[in-house]
Amino acid sequence: MMVDDVYWRVSVASLDRVIFDHPQDGVQTLALERKATLLNERAEKRISGPDNVLVRAQPFGGAVRIYSAAALSDVVGQLRFDSQRSRDERDFRILIPPAAWAAVRQFCLRHLADPDDRILEADPSRELVEEFADAMRINLLPDQYRCKSDGFVIENEPSTTDNIHARGYPTVRIYRVFEIEILDIELRERLLDNSARCSSIDLQTLALADAAHGRSGRANGVLTLPLKRVTESYLALPAEGRAATIVIDGHWIESSTAAILPGMKVPRFERVAE
């Protein structure tokens, strides 16, 4: 897609702070989704090794779905999705004139605050279940976790996106943040086991194999880290540097992780309570 200077891209997503007490020592632990992605989608026939696969960890969560396109069109006019994929999946990844940002923001805050909303997807369960299935091949059940909303994080100043379907577009973002506490003891063990057993190198190998079979060249797993360790790593940085990809204990952590840490001050993040 060619970048159009007249439009901003708006990305609206849920972000989940998945936490649990470690079964052995009780340390509060954060679970992130670890994703391996083939850098060149067309490179599967000429891959030389894992250096061509990017591995990053990020919060569980994903794009909010638009249930009523008509209601959103009343705010922005005819919907322009950032890609055919977003259109097909009804993901809230659209292009708007910059002047419409304030109205879109207000629209999202109003509808996402209602867990039973019929205009936008305000419940994180669907995306969470899908991502647990991708990362661990399990069916996450409602009684295995407790969900609590934790307000919004908004990026009002646009920055260019590296999303492969809309690369280069100046993007503003709204994150609906949830705390997901894992209650099931066995599931806690499985999260820890996946993190220990499926390393970044393993995920690179799986992504290469996925591409070799003619698919997208992706693989998913879990990374678990003590929540305090993650928080302290961000606090050790200047506030301006917290909205970037950082390295913690050798693991690359995406910038959106700072958004799920309670009270973490990041100049470009505006935190909005419900």
Q: How confident is the model at residue 216 (pLDDT cuts 50, 70, 90)?
A: confident
Residue 96 phi, psi dihedral angles, 5° rounding: -135, 155
pTM (two decimals)? 0.92
Task: Taking residues 161-184, report their average pLDDT.
Answer: 84
Residue pair 184/20 in contact by the 8 Å Cβ criterion: no
What would the mean pLDDT of 140-145 be, rounded to a whole number? 98
The torsion of the CA quartet 118, 119, 125, 129, rounded to 10 degrees, works out to 110
In the predicted model, what is the mean pLDDT of residues 180-196? 98
What pLDDT does 274 receive?
82
In this prediction, residue 194 carries a pLDDT of 97
Section 118-138 average pLDDT: 96
* Statement: residue 132 has pLDDT above 60: yes
The region of weakest confidence among 79-83, 121-125, 210-214, 257-261 is 210-214
**Mean pLDDT of the residues in the chain:** 91
Q: Averaged over 182-198, what is the pLDDT?
A: 97
* 43-101 per-position pLDDT tens digit: 444 444 556 899 999 999 999 999 999 999 999 999 999 999 999 999 999 999 999 99
Give pLDDT, residue 42.
Answer: 45
Domain boundaries, the chain: 8-272
Determine contact, residues 192/22, Cβ cutoff 8 Å.
yes
Q: What is the mean pLDDT of residues 241-246?
A: 93
Strands 8-21 and 28-38: antiparallel
Rounded distance between C-alpha atoms, residue 174 and residue 178, angstroms? 13
